[in-house]
């Protein structure tokens, strides 16, 4: 769920120690050539490259040590060629000392920024775990897997969301996408997830639950403490979502689609789109459209997998601008469990997009297992 930490790996101690050989070798090479060069050839100014290169990957202490080593090398060259008080070598030494001090201060500033970035990543990771909790692998008679791919490798969180809640008679799911990006989108996602986790096991039917979620999102848009917007901007904040109810004792699933890409149903190597007859507007806009939340039921038998996803998946493009063919690729990967399916889909999606997604993407795969899980229907509320 969390993207790979390429920067952390590059910033580890082992590769930095290996890179330290570069400036040291440069100092040795310049010193030897300068000593052996004709009297009118001076290579001392090239020594400043050693601390400058070091400052790009090491801290201020290491940079200062390399700078001091470069100054010592310049002094050795001065003694072997003329003397320390020679005017040319004196100016070279002074320049090298000043430049070493400058790049050392630059290294200190860069290291400070790296520490700040590390702290921000730690906070982002903690926020991710609170807002978007990992789904359990098993709930009642269902086996579940989830995946989250951030468009920006440095960003741990975004506006895509999903959650599951255990009820007395089954399991409910929500997957959605907040319009917009940044912290405001994260806040809206947290608002919807909190409302879902708190109400999923209290609302008797699916329309009542979705109506509650709509009221929560709409009331937040109407919050007088929120920044004021013009009338033409009022409808710009919304959340597309699909809310599902999977009962324990019936081989069906019920869903309400609020302007979100329809889930896919994988059954015996075939893929079908779970299109609703009467889709509702996105959450936050239903009040303006006076929409009703109509439930559509689909057969969901043992061995079936329901694949939920956000638009970042199907809108990922390759170099030719072709959208990711999720249904086609999922059909070719049928016959696997939810975890293996999402692992392969995730790898295939990243490969299709050339390693960079244009938008955050989330996927949830839900498989109904054969038989009825012991104790299903009697379990207390549990959310994720």
Task: Give per-residue pLDDT as tens, 103-130.
Answer: 999 999 989 988 888 887 777 666 666 6
Are 323 and 241 within one domain? yes
Are 87 and 147 within one domain? no
| Predicted local confidence at residue 119, as pLDDT | 80
Of 107, 125, 143, which residue constitutes the final position of a domain? 125
**For 39-68, how does the pLDDT look when each residue is reduced to its tens digit (9 = 90+)?**
777 787 889 999 999 998 888 999 999 999
Question: Is residue 231 assigned to a domain?
Answer: yes
Q: Distance (Å, rounded) from C-alpha 24 to C-alpha 41?
A: 22
Are 214 and 331 within one domain? yes
| Predicted local confidence at residue 379, as pLDDT | 39
Of 92, 125, 158, which residue constitutes the final position of a domain? 125
Question: Is residue 1 assigned to a domain?
Answer: no
- Measure CA 377 to chain center: 35
**14 confidence band (pLDDT: 50, 70, 90):** low
For strands 170-178 and 270-273, give the pairing. unpaired
Instruction: Tell me how many domains the chain contains.
Output: 2
Q: For the purposes of burial, counting CB atoms within 10 Å of the CB of 10, is it exposed (0-12), middle (13-18) or buried (19 or more)?
A: exposed
Are 176 and 112 within one domain? no
Are 118 and 190 within one domain? no
Are 260 and 197 within one domain? yes
Question: Is residue 73 assigned to a domain?
Answer: yes
| Predicted local confidence at residue 6, as pLDDT | 35
Are 88 and 160 within one domain? no
What are the tokens at 232?
């033409």
Report angle CA 284, 287, 258 to the nearest 5 degrees. 50
| Predicted local confidence at residue 156, as pLDDT | 53
**80 confidence band (pLDDT: 50, 70, 90):** confident
Instruction: Give every CB contact of residue 252 below 8 A, 6+ residues apart in sequence.
Output: 297, 298, 299, 300
CATH number at residue 199: 3.60.40.10
Are 176 and 118 within one domain? no
Question: Is residue 59 assigned to a domain?
Answer: yes
Burial 241-264 (b: 16+ CB within 10 A, else e): bbbbbbbbeeeebbbbbbbbbbbb
Are 184 and 107 within one domain? no
Angle subtended by helix axes 206-221 and 182-199, to nearest 10: 150
Are 51 and 145 within one domain? no
Are 244 and 357 within one domain? yes
Q: Distance (Å, rounded) from C-alpha 102 to C-alpha 24?
A: 19
- If one compares 261 and 204, the residue with the highest pLDDT of the two is 261
Are 42 and 69 within one domain? yes
DSSP3 helix / strand / coil % (the chain, rounded to 5): 45, 20, 35
Give the global pTM.
0.68
Of 69, 101, 125, which residue constitutes the final position of a domain? 125
Looking at beta carbons, which pairs linking 316-321 to residues 24 or more positions away fall under 8 Å?
A: 316/349, 316/352, 316/353, 316/357, 316/358, 316/359, 316/361, 317/353, 317/358, 318/352, 318/353, 318/354, 319/354
Mean pLDDT of the chain: 83
| Predicted local confidence at residue 172, as pLDDT | 96
Question: Is residue 13 assigned to a domain?
Answer: yes
- Dihedral angle of Cα 370, 373, 378, 381, to the nearest 10 degrees: -90
**For 146-193, how does the pLDDT look when each residue is reduced to its tens digit (9 = 90+)?**
999 877 655 555 678 999 999 989 999 999 999 876 667 778 888 999
Domain range spanning residue 31? 6-125
| Predicted local confidence at residue 222, as pLDDT | 54
């Amino acid at each position: 769920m969390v993207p790979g930490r390429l920067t952390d790996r590059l910033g580890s101690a082992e590769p930095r120690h290996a890179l330290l050989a570069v400036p040291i070798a440069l100092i040795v090479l310049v010193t030897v050539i300068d000593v052996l060069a004709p009297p009118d050839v001076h290579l001392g100014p090239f020594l400043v490259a050693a601390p400058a290169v070091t400052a790009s990957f090491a801290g201020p202490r290491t940079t200062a040590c390399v700078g001091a080593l470069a100054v010592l090398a310049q002094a050795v060259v001065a003694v072997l060629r003329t003397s320390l008080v020679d005017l040319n070598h004196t100016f070279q030494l002074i320049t090298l000392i000043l430049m070493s001090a400058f790049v050392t201060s630059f290294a200190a500033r860069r290291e400070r920024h790296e520490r700040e970035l590390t702290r921000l990543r730690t906070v982002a990771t903690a926020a991710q775990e609170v807002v978007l909790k990992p789904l359990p692998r098993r709930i009642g008679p269902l086996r579940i897997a989830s995946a989250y791919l951030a468009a920006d490798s440095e960003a741990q969180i975004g506006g895509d969301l999903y959650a599951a809640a255990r009820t007395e008679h089954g399991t409910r799911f929500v997957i959605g996408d907040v319009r917009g990006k940044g912290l405001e989108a994260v806040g809206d996602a947290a608002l919807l997830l909190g409302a879902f986790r708190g109400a999923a096991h209290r609302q008797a039917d699916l329309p009542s639950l979705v109506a509650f979620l709509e009221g929560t999102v709409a009331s937040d848009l109407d919050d007088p403490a929120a920044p004021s917007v013009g009338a033409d901007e009022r409808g710009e904040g919304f959340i597309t979502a699909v809310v599902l109810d999977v009962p324990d004792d019936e081989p069906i699933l019920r869903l309400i689609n609020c302007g979100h890409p329809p889930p896919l149903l994988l059954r015996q190597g075939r893929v079908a789109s779970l299109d609703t007859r009467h889709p509702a507007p996105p959450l936050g806009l239903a009040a303006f459209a006076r929409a009703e939340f109509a439930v559509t039921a689909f057969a969901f038998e043992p061995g079936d997998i329901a694949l939920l996803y956000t638009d970042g998946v199907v809108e990922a493009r390759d170099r030719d601008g072709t959208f990711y063919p999720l249904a086609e690729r999922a059909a070719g990967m049928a016959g696997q469990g939810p975890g293996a399916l999402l692992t392969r889909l995730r790898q295939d999606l990243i490969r299709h997009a050339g390693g960079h997604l244009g938008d955050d993407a989330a996927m949830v795969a839900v498989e109904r297992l054969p038989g009825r899980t012991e104790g299903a229907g009697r379990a207390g509320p549990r959310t994720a």
